[in-house]
Structure 1
Amino acid sequence: MIKVAVYIDDNCWAGLAMLVKEAFAVAGTLHARNADLKASALFEVRLAARGKRPVRSFTGPALLPEATLDEAAGSDIVVVPPFFFADEQRKTITPRLRRWLIDAYDNGATLLSMASGVRLLAETGLLDGHEVTGNPSDQRVFARHYPQIRFTPEAPLVIDGRILSAASINPCIDACAYLVGQFVGDGAARKFSRYTNSVRHPTYERMALKNAAHKQHADQRIKQAQEFIERHFKREISVEEAARCSAMSLRNFSRRFQQAVGMAPHSYIARCRAEYAKDLLARPGMSILEVAQQSGFRNEVTLRRAFDQLLGTTPTAYRSANGSALAQRLEDSEKVSARTW
């Protein structure tokens, strides 16, 4: 059982704290094809707090902690949900909470901050030198108080090694899907993503999810390079640029990438573009040239060449052979998007 601790305290957003519990419960029922929550559970999710007293959430409803910080030690995933912050002052945390978060990370836990929750995580020092996202309104907070952290609020979801940050509600669901892929497997993540996400607008989060199976290795710098490629493949990035972002020589980077991922860096870039193009082909009104340009291929020739090498077919033939399935995916996604989560 994968252990998840969701940190709660006064003024936290109760909705997103509970969203984590429900999202991971849904992932289990979909994976097992069984509505019995206990029988299908993949994750043990507990609300963790400094004590056992009820916590007053931002809008008033009380949340009852299910574990103290000490009892939640050893969790595989630690989630810091959003909190209500009315000003741009630093939000200091207690030494106990700081130690708990640092110990969790040092012991191998994956950390996920949701929206303004990243401000609490920033106080630990664990984010120094890392890239994170969050509320655009917090940009001045990070510039003033945490200049050593790369704050990119324009990115919906940032995955920097074992540190994940989501800027708003939808990316929080995408982050859960990514974690399902990391801890359970790509098949379970795909089921969860199909249930919760629309495929009408391919995103970086979905690309990260599609590539989860290629990140089952221990080379953190190569994982960061993969995530850099997943965020930027739609522009003309090069292997040399990815190597520089990883602070490695081109030769060393290419060798380590091939060893860790099982393919060359340029092949990974082409794969990301081709996977994105496959989603764009679901749009019947989009021409092959538009698909090529929006997915990072300069023209139709390079798009066709990539499809031939990776899929053994052409974009036109792929659209024709999968047309009904792609249309059904769009119809299903619209139905899912219309539901209230």
Structure 2
Amino acid sequence: MIGILIYPRFQLLDAAGPIAAFEIAGRLAQAPARIKLLATEPGPVRSSSGVEMLARGLRAASAMRTLIIAGGEGVGVAALCPRTQAFVRAAARRGCRIASVCSASYLLAEAGLLDGRRATTHWGRTQDFLRRYPKVRLQPDRIFVRDGEIWSSAGISAGIDLALAIIAEQFGDKVAQDTARQLVVYHRRAGGQSQFSSLLELQAPDGRFAALLGWVREHLDQTLTVELLAQRAGMSARHFSRAFIAATGSTPAKAVERLRIEVARSRVQESHEAIEQVARGTGFGDPERMRRAFVRAFGQPPQALRRAARGTGDARRAELAT
């Protein structure tokens, strides 16, 4: 049985996305999924959108093997509920697979299930999460993370990616692929794919490190070590790393790679430069290193992105010509 835990002001898609994925996968695998909505109080539960879903009480989860916890605006109250915490801890002790979608990672952290574990959450909550839960090994730029039987995922739609990964483990990759096709989503964004896609998303709200990030983007072909970046920021390397993560939600090394990917993608899609030249000009050094970075970020190698961009351009020109 798959349990979907919700609470007042949960995010509707956090629950509905995985439900749809598991329902389709069960049908394709000819093993219909038993899915139950759960809440501390049985009955209608209103989402943040105002739409209600009908949930059973926690006692209905006796045969549960997988627990998915939805995120949402009400997670702060839900995470502090003793009954909810006890329920989640008991499920973990029984060996259930437990997964959080988006901000539901707060509930897992409050229950103590993430201490010493790798996890992720929505990028917009990174700074607050790091401050509240220093024992968690947060990986803020991941779509989803698995650490043993504890799974966590990033923003709302990442719950579908997480569900597809669970489906692949349970039913095999073919069923997961066919499920993704039915959902008309990419099969499958890797858990290590970055949540972020632009320089603006690395900017701290107070503008801290903005000048440094701008300089980095203009000097990607250089060897950009933490020591060099710390020197330009006027800090020790250790202090700089901590301050940078707190301000941007990313390590300096990941930020540099993200900016390299951003510029490299633009050059791959919009120019006729050789892939080798793009790799050298953006600091990757060799095409294979850039290829691995692209697969992590976009699920595709540079050549595939270039072909897709050219195909879109050809189609657009044909449309304008008719």
Scaled to the shorter chain, the TM-score interval is 0.5 to 0.7
Residue equivalent to 2:160 = 173
> Paired residue for 2:126, among 124, 132, 139?
139
Give the gaps of 5 or more residues in structure 2. 194-264, 291-300, 313-322
> Paired residue for 1:77, among 63, 66, 86?
66
Inter-CA distance 291–174: structure 2 relative to 1 (3 Å threshold): farther
User: In structure 1, what is the Cα distance between the partners aligned to 2:286 and 2:67?
Assistant: 43
Q: State the AA in 1 paired with 2:68.
A: V
CA contact (8 A) 1:76 1:109 kept: yes
CA contact (8 A) 2:75 2:104 kept: no
Describe the superposition over 1:98-137 as per-residue Cα deviations: whole angstroms up to 9, x where unpaired: 2211121121211111111111111110110112111233
User: In structure 2, what is the Cα distance between the partners aligned to 1:184 and 1:290?
Assistant: 42
Residue equivalent to 1:197 = 185
User: In structure 2, what is the Cα distance between the partners aligned to 1:178 and 1:146?
Assistant: 26
- Pairing 1:1-341 to 2, within 5 Å after superposition: 3-29=1-27, 31-32=28-29, 40-65=30-55, 67-85=56-74, 91-94=79-82, 96-194=83-181, 195-198=183-186, 203-205=189-191, 289=276, 299=286
CA contact (8 A) 1:174 1:193 kept: no
Q: State the TM-score, normalizing by the size of structure 2.
A: 0.58
Residue equivalent to 1:268 = none
Higher-RCO chain (CA-CA 8 Å, sequence separation at least 6): 2
CA contact (8 A) 2:10 2:75 kept: no
The count of aligned residue pairs is 228
CA contact (8 A) 1:171 1:205 kept: no
User: In structure 2, what is the Cα distance between the partners aligned to 1:301 and 1:118?
Assistant: 34
How far did 1:142 drift? 2.1
Inter-CA distance 184–292: structure 2 relative to 1 (3 Å threshold): farther
Q: State the AA in 2 paired with 1:112.
A: A
Q: Look up the SS of the partner of 2:61 in the other structure.
A: coil
Inter-CA distance 41–54: structure 2 relative to 1 (3 Å threshold): same
Describe the superposition over 1:214-257 as per-residue Cα deviations: whole angstroms up to 9, x where unpaired: xxxxxxxxxxxxxxxxxxxxxxxxxxxxxxxxxxxxxxxxxxxx
Give the gaps of 5 or more residues in structure 1. 33-39, 208-279, 304-314, 332-341
Residue equivalent to 1:339 = none
CA contact (8 A) 2:70 2:104 kept: yes
How far did 1:302 drift? 9.7
Describe the superposition over 1:37-57 as per-residue Cα deviations: whole angstroms up to 9, x where unpaired: xxx444211101123222122
Q: State the AA in 1 paired with 2:86.
A: R
CA contact (8 A) 2:119 2:145 kept: yes
Report % sequence identity.
27
CA contact (8 A) 1:53 1:64 kept: yes
How far did 1:157 drift? 1.5
